[in-house]
Amino acid sequence: MRPEIIKFANGIPVKAFVRSVGKYPYHWHDALEIILVLKGSFNIRMGTEDHLLYEGSIAVVNAGELHRMEGNEQENQILFFQIDDRFYKSVLPDSKYSFIYCCSTYHEAEAPEKYGKLKDYIARLAVILNEQTGVNRQKDAEHLLTALLAYLTDNFNYLRWGPGKAAFEEKQVERLRQMAEHINNSHSVNPGLKDLAAEVNISLYHLSHDIKNKFGYTFQELLFYSRIEQAAKLLLSTDERIIDIAMECGFSDSKYLIKHFRQNYKYSPSEFRKKYRTDAKTLASQTQYHEYPLSEAIKCIGISGGGK
């Protein structure tokens, strides 16, 4: 389960299913996951943030993003789409450094039309996957899926919109793409930003403040966030020592990993591993959900904001 392996059937690069979730421990997968609550409510933790999603709420979990889910006293029914990340990158090559920032609790109230259109795509895709058969099913699903992914990338990409509802200028977006490359490829902090500033021909001071103003975080904070998430996945999936994980994730000393990990996850790396890592059998017993037919989603589509 860590990472969770997702198999796609019949040549269609998307899986759709409806579940009532009781508990689903920390996991990640090589698929973009779109979640739409059809009935009730449940809690989801994405990265280091907790969200309560209720009827009509939507959230997107990026490929490789650490997350867990837990129900509450309310019964729930949730529609899931899992989209093959290889398909995403093949139809939108520029998505390599995209990070989809989409969750109803962020800003649906401020941008209802953006979320409404996304829900319409979801509703139409659910109908195709539930009702169509044969060759046309794959062709129509891929066509609509491509449009849905393009819409997500254009309207919810963190590098284009940040945490707000106003898009950045294209020149700034390109600069931020270069920053994302540095975050992914650099194992240093200040030199990475200094090199990036020189690359885009602006001062280090200007770039530092531009990043802080747009995202509410410094370059170092964004970098550390990326690295501690990778550390969390290694803690859950390997027996590596903390000191080795620190080095592998770009920390010069394990004390820096411990400091930033505790700030974000409220546990030390050792405490986090002890609390959340377990053997496959125990993990399976902790995973609690009930499957429903996809047709259940079609019944609720009108309630949750979609339509044909």
Q: What is the CATH number of the domain that holds 236?
A: 1.10.10.60
What would the two tokens of residue 169 be? 């200028």
**CB of 64 within 8 A of CB of 230?**
no
Domain match, 22 and 119 both: yes
Statement: residue 255 has pLDDT above 80? yes
Domain membership of residue 306 (yes or no) is no
Domain match, 217 and 265 both: yes
Statement: residue 305 has pLDDT above 50? no
Domain match, 25 and 158 both: yes
Domain membership of residue 224 (yes or no) is yes
Domain membership of residue 239 (yes or no) is yes
Confidence of residue 112 (pLDDT cuts 50, 70, 90): very high
Domain match, 125 and 156 both: yes
Confidence of residue 96 (pLDDT cuts 50, 70, 90): confident
Statement: residue 307 has pLDDT above 60? no
Look at the chain and count its residues: 308
Domain match, 174 and 135 both: no
Q: Choose between 178 and 143: higher pLDDT.
A: 143
Domain match, 18 and 107 both: yes
Domain match, 187 and 125 both: no
Domain membership of residue 55 (yes or no) is yes
Statement: residue 82 has pLDDT above 90? yes
Backbone angles phi, psi at 3, to 5 degrees: -75, 155
Mean pLDDT of the chain: 90
> Which amino acid belongs to residue 30?
D
Which pLDDT score, from 0 to 100, does residue 72 have? 92
Statement: residue 31 has pLDDT above 70? yes
Statement: residue 254 has pLDDT above 70? yes
Which pLDDT score, from 0 to 100, does residue 179 have? 75
pLDDT tens for each residue of 264-282: 999 999 999 999 999 889 9
Q: Choose between 112 and 187: higher pLDDT.
A: 112
Domain membership of residue 308 (yes or no) is no
Domain match, 289 and 220 both: no
d(CA 78, CA 36): 6
Which pLDDT score, from 0 to 100, does residue 302 have? 58
Which pLDDT score, from 0 to 100, does residue 185 have? 65
Domain match, 205 and 229 both: yes
Domain match, 78 and 201 both: no
How many structural domains comprise the chain?
Answer: 2
Structural domain boundaries enclosing 24: 14-163+285-300
Q: Choose between 189 and 152: higher pLDDT.
A: 152
Domain membership of residue 95 (yes or no) is yes
d(CA 68, CA 43): 8
Confidence of residue 85 (pLDDT cuts 50, 70, 90): very high
Domain match, 177 and 240 both: yes
Statement: residue 16 has pLDDT above 90? yes
Domain membership of residue 3 (yes or no) is no
d(CA 121, CA 119): 5
Confidence of residue 1 (pLDDT cuts 50, 70, 90): low
Which pLDDT score, from 0 to 100, does residue 231 have? 97
